[in-house]
Amino acid sequence: MANSKKDYYELLGISRSAAGKEIKDAYRQLALKYHPDKNPGNKETEEKFKEINEAYEVLSDSQKKQLYDQYGHAGVGAGGPGAGPGFGGYDFSGFGGGAGGSGDLGDIFGDIFEGVFGQRTGRSGKRSSAVRGADLRFDATLDFRDAVFGIELSLSIPRHESCSRCGGSGAKPGANRKTCPTCKGAGKMRLSQGFFSLVQTCPKCQGEGTVIEASCPECRGSGKKANTASIKVKIPAGVDEGSSLRVRGEGEAGEHGGPGGDLYVVIHVKKDPDFEREGNDLIMEKHVSFAQAALGAEITVPVLEGNVTMKVPAGTQGHTVFKLKQKGVPYLSGRGRGDLLVKIVVDVPKNLSEKEKQLLREFELSGRGSAGGTKGFWKF
């Protein structure tokens, strides 16, 4: 009976507002967990597998999902408005998006079969011979100002490149290819596992259907050789610690004509003795004397390009922060810069002479030299 069935959303562990990728990801995770070939002879998990398949078959189809949301199980059951081949009855004819099936079920079950048999099989049962190369990572440490203003780096990257002698084919020049003796040229092999029968890529020829008669002596049939590549990389102004730059195609070489992987340059930045960085702003401390803070002064402040003169107004208190606009780090967009924040540190005088002490006592007694107007702040 329809009312005895479990709620499809509860079966997949998702909310009723879930859609698209969220439904697919939830189903994939559960299908891998409860697949009968991972739980042989377990009737409970087999039944659970049927239930989640049925739930996904409905919720992944926008029309059926709408009917289910409106009418419940009656809307998609036998004879209902959305009736069709039942996934719960293991009608796997819909893998490729046929009647009653979802267009991406083949991809999902490819993931399941990969988990069960250890190798990915495409819908046609043949694997494309072209394989993309692996990505590489290079950690680059920059001086603080190089990260701020940008720099071009010359990198030496150890990697595998296509063999120049065989052009990456792995075959000895002039050697022919012959039919794979394992799969007889089909490029695939049929496997039976439990109640499933499926196609797997031939492990001998990797789905090509042919094998080389003689391997290239230079690369020993791998089609690749180890090398150290010299690559120039432009680091843009404004990069920060942990920034990552992708250089397309400069990773490991692909196989059988496949594209190269990418090179990721991860940035590390050395500390600067003058500045601390906070986003695109710079922060620094500037020490001034008690007299400069009290009387006011013009002081020299270091900036990234050299030095500038900054006015300290009379009566400036310690920890006052002044902002020098557009003296910080350039934005990666190339438009504008952050600011330089100068924090004033007032140095209290030490080793005063008797005359200096007397002058400060008189200033204190005037009532203007103590915090809050309370006498006795300066005691010598």
Environment class of 165 (CB within 10 Å of its CB; exposed 0-12, middle 13-18, buried 19+): middle
pLDDT of residue 339: 97
Please tell me the predicted confidence (pLDDT) of residue 91.
Answer: 34
Instruction: List, in order, residues 6 or more apart from 42 with CB less than 8 Å away.
Output: 36
Architecture of the domain defined by 2-117: Orthogonal Bundle (1.10)
Sign of torsion, CA 41 42 48 52? Answer: negative
* Residue with token string 């915090």: 371
Residue at token pair 């009312």: 3
| CA-to-CA separations, 368 to 47, 290, 315, 357, 358, in angstroms, rounded | 87, 15, 12, 16, 15
pLDDT score, position 367 = 62
How many residues does the structure list for the chain? 380
Asked if residues 328 and 339 have their Cβ atoms less than 8 Å apart, the reply is yes
CA 173 to chain centre: 41
Token pair, residue 283, equals 């922060």
Per residue of the chain (380 residues), what is the pLDDT tens digit?
Answer: 344 678 899 899 998 888 888 898 888 888 888 887 777 778 888 889 889 988 898 898 888 888 888 777 776 764 444 444 333 333 333 333 333 344 444 445 544 444 444 444 444 444 456 788 899 999 999 999 999 999 999 999 999 998 888 877 778 887 877 888 888 888 888 776 555 667 778 887 877 788 888 888 888 877 888 999 999 999 999 999 999 999 999 999 987 778 899 999 999 999 999 999 999 999 999 999 988 999 999 999 999 999 999 999 999 999 999 999 999 999 998 899 999 999 999 998 888 888 878 887 887 777 665 544 444 444 43
Q: What is the pLDDT of residue 368?
A: 60
Residues 6+ apart with CB under 8 A from 19: none
DSSP string, 196-229: EEEEEE-TTTTTSSEEESSB-TTTTTSSEEEEEE
In the three-class reduction of DSSP (H, G, I as helix; E, B as strand; rest coil), residue 350 is classed as coil
Please give the pLDDT value at position 81: 44
Collapsed DSSP state (helix, strand, coil) of residue 338: coil
Q: Which helix (H) or strand (E) holds 34?
A: helix 21-34
The pTM for the full model equals 0.55
**Nearest by Cα to 10 from 91, 73, 77:** 73
- State residue 42's pLDDT score: 85
User: Residue ranges per domain, the chain?
Assistant: 2-117, 136-269, 276-348, 352-380
For 324-337, write each residue's pLDDT tens digit.
999 999 999 889 99
Topology of the domain covering 276-348? HSP40/DNAj peptide-binding domain (2.60.260)
* pLDDT at residue 193, as a whole number: 59
For residue 254, what pLDDT is reported?
A: 87
Please report, for the chain, how many H helices and E strands are present, in that order. Answer: 9, 15
Q: How far apart are CA 332 and CA 111, in angstroms?
A: 39
Decide yes or no: CATH 1.10.645.10 for domain 136-269.
no
What pLDDT score does 329 carry?
A: 96
| Residue 52: how many other CB atoms lie within 10 Å | 23
Whole-number pLDDT of residue 127: 47
Q: Tokens standing for 96? A: 């490729």
At residue 11, what are phi and psi to the nearest 5 degrees?
Answer: -60, -40
